[in-house]
Structure 1
Amino acid sequence: MCPLSTNDLHRIFRELDKNGDGLLSTVELNWLLESIGVHFSPEELESSVGKPCLNFDEFLLFYDSITRQSDDHASNEAALADDHRESCSREDCDLVKAFKVFDSNGDGFISCEELQSMLSKLGLWDERTGKDCRSMICRYDTNSDGAVDFEEFKKMMLHTSL
């Protein structure tokens, strides 16, 4: 998973905390997940999180646990996902679904514009972030074609070396 700074996570937390109570409810967290195509029932999400609301420190721990899980899966999974396979690991299938959410035009690449569009839908885009979209694409665009393909996306999300 692409590492985020504490400042980025704090900004995300504030954006998700729609009622401004300093707590992130599972309803507010579920809004984010659903907007990127990940669907949980409120009960499933609360069971996964372990409580109905998270303060910022608990949100950081939740993020860290997700990052650790991703790193553990990356080191344990050897299968590659591509659209031509009949079966794939759960992690790879989830990555394919996430990639398709960002690849809104279905061309097999995530452009800067598509990344900006998704960040806008999540309420995480502003002028500064727009400039970061290009640098993020460039950072993971190993073949320098100006977009992120699935393998580059997978490396970014699994936080493996390029």
Structure 2
Amino acid sequence: MSRLSTNDLDRIFKSLDRKREGHVSIFELQQLLDRVGNHATLEELQILVGSPSLDYFEFFFFYESVILPKISENKEGKYDGLESDLLEAFKVFDINGDGFISSEELQSVLLRLGLWENCNGDCKNMIKVYDINSDGVLDFEEFKNMMSLSDSSKGLLF
């Protein structure tokens, strides 16, 4: 998974802080981590966080000190470095594990992460832009192309 921008983290925090109380509970944090494939028990999070909730700045610190180093670890296998990170991100979006990202999978993940409120037709259009072989889905190579092109401009597309 690629490093998230400050804007992405801000949107995620606001999405989790539904009551607008200025904090996110470790239960809400656990649900988010589970959705993106980083499983932790409430007890583990309580130890890491040291309190039952995180305010805005603690949430950013948690990402920078706990999640980001985990993302950056070099994984053994076919891919290394950036490509390994991209493969992990691809797996998050490939919900059914078929090796492709459909517009429905893209929409589901973006909505769960709070990164896009309503992307019905937009998700299909986003895939269409990077779908080189016009099969209606993104394979890993097309996903890498999308991420490298979007990362070189103003950040990620979503």
**Aligned-residue RMSD, C-alpha:** 3.8
Residues 129, 25 of structure 1: CA spacing in aligned structure 2 closer, same or farther, 3 A cutoff?
Answer: farther
| Secondary structure at 1:45 match in 2 | helix
1:133-155 CA-to-partner distances (Å, cap 9, x unmatched) read: 865x689x6x94451429957xx
Where in structure 2 are the equivalents of 1:19-38 lying within 5 Å?
Answer: 19-38=19-38
Q: Which amino acid aligns with 1:57?
A: F
* Aligned-pair identity (%): 43
Task: Tell me the residue number matched to 1:125.
Answer: 116
Contact 2:2 2:71 in 1 (8 A): no
Residues 117, 80 of structure 1: CA spacing in aligned structure 2 closer, same or farther, 3 A cutoff?
Answer: same
Task: Tell me the residue number matched to 2:71.
Answer: 70
1:14-58 CA-to-partner distances (Å, cap 9, x unmatched) read: 110133210111011112123344432211112233332211111
Q: Which amino acid aligns with 1:3?
A: R
1:76-126 CA-to-partner distances (Å, cap 9, x unmatched) read: x44237xxxxxxxxx99xx49x81x53234321123331112222344322
Contact 1:16 1:24 in 2 (8 A): yes
Q: Give 5+ residue unaligned stretches, structure 2.
A: 148-158
Residues 114, 29 of structure 1: CA spacing in aligned structure 2 closer, same or farther, 3 A cutoff?
Answer: same
Aligned pair count? Answer: 138
| Secondary structure at 1:2 match in 2 | coil
Where in structure 2 are the equivalents of 1:118-157 lying within 5 Å?
Answer: 118-127=109-118, 131=122, 144-145=132-133, 146-149=137-140
Q: Give 5+ residue unaligned stretches, structure 1.
A: 82-90, 157-162
TM-score (norm 1): 0.61
